[in-house]
Structure 1
Amino acid sequence: MAELADLLEVRRTNPDAIAAAAVARKRPANLFGGPHGKLMIIAADHPARGALRAGADPLAMANRVELLDRLRTALARPGVNGVLGTPDILEDLLLLGALDDKVVIGSMNRGGLAGTSFEMDDRFTAYDADSIAAAGFEGGKMLLRIDPDDAGTVATLAACGTAVSELAAHRRMAMVEPFISHRVDGRVRNELTAEAMIRAMTVSAGLGTTSAYTWLKVPVVPDMARVMAATTLPALILGGEVSDDASAAYAQWAEALSQPTVQGLVIGRSLLYPSKGSVADAVDRAVELL
């Protein structure tokens, strides 16, 4: 179990310990540590957007100590070389000593809270490029949902473009997660077709003053060969929701990984809260795909 009492004591009496832990963290020699030569990143930025569901449980991620324990288990598995999270989670992991030699990606825009009337307004409410560089982290991730019927989308486009430029100025990875999205019956739905992903990816690739440090975070959709042919930027495949048919999900990830621009996986709930088996088993099976 994560040392909750110790975390609380540090946060209560010595908040400067967080910055000190970031400075002391042993950074990875390169992005592609491990025998597979790919990136295997565990995602844990869902709670800050109010998205706590995993599988059938709407509050699966609500217990923070349990989530931290699951994250530490995943990060300790061979072949896992990174984590993606918001400041609260990454700082807990720093204090717990779980981020040495790991690629750390800070999540940046968490303003589009799940299930709200303003969900499409993905304002930058967490990390910015300066704080990511100051912490010594390797990059920043942003969500870019493009709604053709929502004029507010252009504000998110502009903010993402600025973030890409600022991360590049610090020589940090800009991980962009693009979707074409629509509001249906009051809920935001991502359009998971090849045509929609091609459009979203090509828009994302053109953001900012340079694409030198831009990576794409892409869901598995039909016809991934055609989708990934739309860009020369390196890409990571995201895992998506917890599935009862884990074998089908792993098969889809494996097929996507066969595309030359795909450089690894970014998976959260599917591995941290597997429908069957342990976190370690689920993570090890994903690593084997690399």
Structure 2
Amino acid sequence: MRDVLEIVAARADRPGAIASAAAARRRPAGWRGEHGRMMIIAADHPARGALRAGPDPLAMGNRADLLDRICTALERPGVNGVLGTPDILEDLLLLGALDDKVVIGSMNRGGLAGTSFEIDDRFTAYDGDSLAAAGFEGGKMLLRIDPDDAGTVATLQACGRAVGDLAAHQLMAMVEPFISHRADGRVRNELSPEAMIRAMTVAAGLGTTSAYTWLKVPVVDDMERVMAATTLPALILGGEVSQDADAAYVRWSKALALPTVQGLVIGRSLLYPPGGDVAGAVDRAVSLL
């Protein structure tokens, strides 16, 4: 496990080291890896208070362990990027783990999991200016559309503004859309083909331009019809840790055959796989590309 003492010392005594590390980072040649696709490790869950992975409700609550898993994944051949909040990406900068990687900063983390204000998903992390200043390649936003919650309109407006801001800096705007509903005190995403088509078409129209917009979508039934709803490039997300890993890989493989699907953005399924072999899980996902 990587020693975090160096990170703590830098944060306490040399906070300027973070900006220096960002400035010194070796940028990737492009958004695609050597396989012509994107393979992004997602690690932005903790800032929303979503720490569960598999049966462990606090799996992502140990930062040293999480960083070790992320670094292991980033070191595997074919992995060309990472998605995270400022605290995680800055830890990785201090560890020197982001050279030649596509770095996507997570932007709206205000809709904390399990809260009454979850749908009113405020932008509380990166913005376009800070991502450009850090030299990162893009920003990601979650867009949950609840027809029964007026907080949705504020999130729609904020996401539209963020898409335009990122495009002005020529940075990727990664939008993750869902039709969502509150039930039993929780916000649940609707994963029917019809719901995903509706959510994607709304997300595609956000902002002053869609030139830099990519979609981040789950694998659902009838993916061929779902992905026919847009010409925007899309990345497939991994979702929750599945005990049936074989079935998950089959679903990802089928989705990757569709023309608009340009790669994978997977977090917990690879960082906390059944059996604990992070490198093996990542290598298997890369083999699908």
TM superposition score category, shorter chain reference:
over 0.9
In structure 1, the partner of 2:198 is 199
Q: Please list, as runs of the form range in 1=range in 2, the aligned pairs for 1:151-190 lying within 5 A after superposition.
A: 151-190=150-189
The reply to whether residue 72 of structure 1 matches residue 71 of structure 2 is yes
Alpha-carbon separation, structure 2, partners of 1:153 and 1:121: 6
Ranges in structure 2 where 5+ consecutive residues have no aligned partner: none
SS at match of 1:201: helix
Write the distance in 1 (CA, Å) between the matches of 2:135 and 2:237.
Answer: 24
Deviations 1:172-213 (A, max 9, x none): 000000000000111100000100000000000000000000
Alignment deviations for residues 36-65 of structure 1 (CA, whole Å, 9 cap, x no partner): 110000000000000000001000001000
Tell me the residue number matched to 1:58.
57
Distance in 2 of aligned mates of 1:232 and 1:43: 24
* Equivalent position SS for 2:246: helix
How far apart are residue 33 of structure 1 and its match? 2.2
1:216 alignment counterpart: 215
1:102-134, Cα deviation, whole Å (9 max, x unpaired): 000000000010111111111000000000000
Tell me the amino acid that sits aligned with residue 17 of structure 1.
A
Structure 2 equivalent of residue 236 of structure 1? 235
Matched with 1:95 is 94
2:246 aligned with 1:282, yes or no? Answer: no
User: What letter matches 1:149 in structure 2?
Assistant: D
**Residues 277, 47 of structure 1: alpha-carbon distance in 2 compared, 3 angstrom cutoff:** closer
Q: Distance in 1 between matches of 2:33 and 2:176?
A: 23
Where 1:106 maps in the other structure, the secondary structure is: strand
Say whether the 8 Å CA contact 2:38–2:80 is kept in structure 1. Answer: yes
Which residue is equivalent to 1:251?
A: 250
Q: State the match for 2:3 in structure 1.
A: 3
The 2-side partners of 1:12 and 1:66 are apart by 21
Deviations 1:107-166 (A, max 9, x none): 000001011111111100000000000000000000000000011100000000000000
Identity %: 80
Partner of 1:269: 268
Contact kept? 2:33, 2:39, Cα under 8 Å:
no
Amino acid at match of 2:28: P
1:240 is paired with a residue of what secondary structure? coil
Q: Compute the displacement of 1:275 (Å).
A: 1.2
Alignment correspondent of 1:134: 133
Partners of 1:136 and 1:153 lie apart in 2 by: 31
Distance 1:116 1:8 in 2: 31
Structure 2 letter corresponding to 1:23 = A
Asked if 1:82 corresponds to 2:115, the answer is: no
1:277 to partner: Cα distance: 4.3
- Counterpart in the other structure of 1:30: 30
Partner-residue secondary structure (3-state), 2:52: coil
Residue type of the alignment partner of 1:25:
R
Distance 1:240 1:66 in 2: 20
The amino acid that maps onto 1:87 is P
Q: For residues 147 and 249 of structure 1, what CA distance do their matches in structure 2 show?
A: 27
1:192-240: CA deviation from partner (whole Å, max 9, x where unpaired): 0100000000000000000000000000100000000000000000000
**How high is the TM-score relative to the length of structure 1?**
0.99
- Output the aligned Cα RMSD: 0.6
Whether the aligned pair in 1 keeps the contact of 2:40 and 2:81 (CA below 8 Å) is yes
* Residues 61/277 of structure 1: CA separation in 2 closer, same or farther (3 Å cut): closer
TM-score, normalised to structure 2, is 0.99
